[in-house]
Structure 1
Amino acid sequence: MMTDLFLSLLSRRAFDVSADQLIVGAIGTVVVAVCAVLHYEVMRTASWALPRLRIRRQARVLGVMFAMLVAHIAEVWIFGLTYWVMDGWPEFGRLEGPVDEGALDFIYFSVTSFTTLGFGDIVPTGAIRILCGAEALAGLGLITWSASFAFLEMQRDWAEFRRPSK
């Protein structure tokens, strides 16, 4: 049994990582980190500023949601612009399909990756697939983070709403 397993492992293709894959992985790590820091700062600022504004509770909830949407749009654009820049180096891979080199094609692909929707009309090939996977994972995490933040902010506002007014 162990001999069969050992022979099976020996006959498999090598688990090689190319320099292009390492570079794309490093770029992906930096872009994910930038988006996470941006997201944190937007949440921190919204959490600090919205309660200090003299606006109705409903408007504060809408302010939280608007801040989160703006953060997500900025993050999608950061990834989309990264795809556009990387498209200049074909050795990193390409986005194949109906892409005519316009910026909105890269943003569109970024939205479908970030939200893990993935229509499949534009398909990544080569090492750039690593960035696509990183974006899907980051998008899932950041969207979930936004939902948790919105829940906590609404819970705080609703607790305030239930207190008797003076």
Structure 2
Amino acid sequence: MTLVAFATGLFLVLILGVIHHVGVLMIVRVAPNFRASGHAPIIVAFACLLILHSFEIVLFALVLSALLEIEGFGDFGGTYSGTWEGLIYFSGMSFVTLGFSDMKAFGPIRLVAMFLSLGGFMVLTWSATLLYSICSKIWQQDS
């Protein structure tokens, strides 16, 4: 089961990368023209990235819910009460803080949680780079 969990986590991060890439492409198309005056492109890009990351966190919570149904794949402990709120919380905390929370993963699902943290770190830095790029273009125009 450990190898399956490892492969599952790896696969999920690859899917996350595809989803994030498509989302970033959409943001670049939706955001106002980066040569336009004003700071609207920065605010639009920030809001869109917030929505994209929220979607990714909820998607991982759905996957975690499905994995918990598999016999021998593991479980959550600590303050986990078996609710969607708990799964979204765990997914989000793993995604943005490398898993520091009051919930704990037990069994092979820990490997999926590890990959969730890795994927979150990767796409968050990707998003920060995009936002920095947009800000740089706008700020250069203002000076």
What's the TM-score once normalised by structure 1's chain length?
A: 0.77
Matched residue type, 1:59? A
Structure 1 residue 52: deviation in Å?
4.0
SS at match of 1:57: coil
1:47/1:153 contact within 8 Å kept: no
What is the aligned length?
143
2:75 is matched with 94
Matched residue type, 1:127? P
Q: Residues 6-50 of structure 1: CA distance to partner in whole angstroms, max 9, x if unpaired?
A: xxxxxxxxxxxxxx1122122212221221111111211222332
Gaps of 5+ in 1: 1-19
Identity %: 26
Matched residue type, 1:93? G
2:2 equivalent to 1:48? no
What's the TM-score once normalised by structure 2's chain length?
A: 0.88
Matched residue type, 2:48? A
1:109 is matched with 90
2:136 is matched with 155
Structure 1 residue 72: deviation in Å?
0.9
2:96/2:117 contact within 8 Å kept: yes
2:98/2:117 contact within 8 Å kept: no
CA separation in 2, counterparts of 1:140 and 1:122? 19
Please, which of 45, 58, 78 is the counterpart of residue 77 of structure 1? 58
